[in-house]
Structure 1
Amino acid sequence: MLFMRAVLAVGIVAAAGLPMAGTAAAEQRPAPSRIIATDYSSGTPALVSLNPVSGDVIETFAQNAEEGVLSPKGSAVAYIQRDNTCIPQTEGCMYARHLVVAEADGEDQHILVRGIAPETNHAPYVMHPDWSPDGKRIVYNSPRGMEWINSDGTGQEVLMAAGGVAGTFSPDGKSIAFVKTTPYETTDGWEDGREVWVMDTATRQVHQISTARNALSEPVDWSPDGQRIVYTTENGLSVVDVTTGAVVQLQSGWTDPLSNLQGPVFSPDGTRIAFSARNFVDQTHSTYVVDATDGKNLQVLRSQGATPTDWLNK
């Protein structure tokens, strides 16, 4: 897999902070208002909003906060926070990860879902929250699988047993996209493949969208019109058409290798995608933006690592 990632190509910003020849400068593009992201530049994760032109931090919502999302009206935030209480393990401490909700100004912070102790030897955790478009529910992952809960703390329910991860609501709230691991038979035996699937929130019926078996177990994102889903793969970034299953691999025109791609999110007009990645050559962790249709005009938005979770036009 390392070899596969090493052959990725990415236009990257030089040490002086200027884009390479052939890339479009971010300053020349009109910008939606903010990208919600987990900022790791201070050493402690913080939930922030970024200027999608300069990459500067506009606002900090919470410290010690990861994978955060704003409610549809922007009045509240949901994020993952690590507990500071040691859970003794044979090789040291583990720490629970809780789903926390607070007002956007940081007031009324409270735990909505406590970290759940899995059956394995891992620390208790919940992960990857996403707010429904009507603001009524939050979907998230736990060792039990993909779950959701009402934003007032009632109605907690397992939607799918372990195997489906990182659910994301469609723009109309009628579907949840997620990555699911399923076994398949090869000439050498059985292997696990990961695909993008979609669940109907009313019927709970699921159907497979992608077919390449190369999706990573990371959150996906819907285009604003609900017609496409972007996801990370073993090779980079792919966008799949929800109706036809046709896939566009965005990394085919990049020129430097990237690895550890995370957090792809569509811009509010559906023309750009922001994500974070590590440059394979110099091991720098940066936030990037790229054209959503063909992977062109890739550029570094922020040289300090910040992993996007949403791109808002308000």
Structure 2
Amino acid sequence: MSTNTETPTLPATSREIQLASRPHGRPVPENFRLAESPLPELQDGQVLVRNLYISVDPYMRGRMNDVKSYSAPFALDAAMDGGAVGEVIASRADGRAVGDTVVHSLGWREYAVVDAAATTPARTDLAPASAFLGALGMTGLTAYAGLLKVAELKPGEVVFVSGAAGAVGSLVGQIAKAMGASRVIGSAGSPEKVARLLDLGFDAAFNYHDGPLAKQLAAAAGERGIDVYFDNVGGEHLEAALSALTVGGRVAMCGAISQYNATEPTPAPRNLMQAIGKQLTLKGFLVGGYWQHMAEFVEAMSGWLADGTVSYDETVVDGLENAPQAFMDLLDGANTGKMLVRL
């Protein structure tokens, strides 16, 4: 028997960010709309959540296009969705009480009516709520699974991470060191981000604006080359990595942010043929295919966070109305670590 714990002060409406039009190339403010919509009545098995933080992520750019993909496109004139963490303020579900902190997928809005089965408790005794959208959430699992399950990192190997100061990349480098990588190299887009990577324990880091990528990577890798490339950027970064990879090297293809706003087809790496002679493995992956490793990941990451092996950065923007700008800034590389919007 479910228990109705609603109070008479519950909100009847919620502000939300809608997709007003589909971007062509880089998104612009006019592609988004701040609106207010009525909240549906709470049903048995559901909870009403006041969102505390919402996540803006690069993959969302693809969902703004009306094309068939692994995830349905955002509908026009409707609230977008994405990762969020918030407080349960009303519950008609067993196992979810008022005051619980939960993670769910109805972001881009202030309040959400969610099926309790589609929520996950956030262990705020382990870390702040925001961490469950980052280091202890989908972002962290992406880094963990991509490096260890897709690229199958082995102790003593050399790892190169592109977009290394971002939410996923910064965790990949630290996990690699924790798992015995002999050398971890990262690329980033500013001197400040390069310095931050070195603070996080990367053995080498370079600013990809400072010169040809292939030359900078070759200098950082030395004669040994790299064994694993964790790709968040695609394009020129992938081409440089193909040249630096050793025989039997592996590429975990996580993202290609350099191409997300492209309005014309982007060229393939000119040296792709090296994958044949070097017997390389290039494997694309989606984190949704690796949820079975979540418990293993949370146990490992909780320990690393507790003992200081891993730390994480957040770039926090306040106010739902500023979520579109936060997203656009993310695509421009303005974030260090996880980009979040605090409500």
Q: Normalization by structure 2: what TM-score? A: 0.27
Kindly indicate which of the two structures has a greater share of residues assigned to strand. 1
Kindly indicate which of the two structures has a greater share of residues assigned to helix. 2
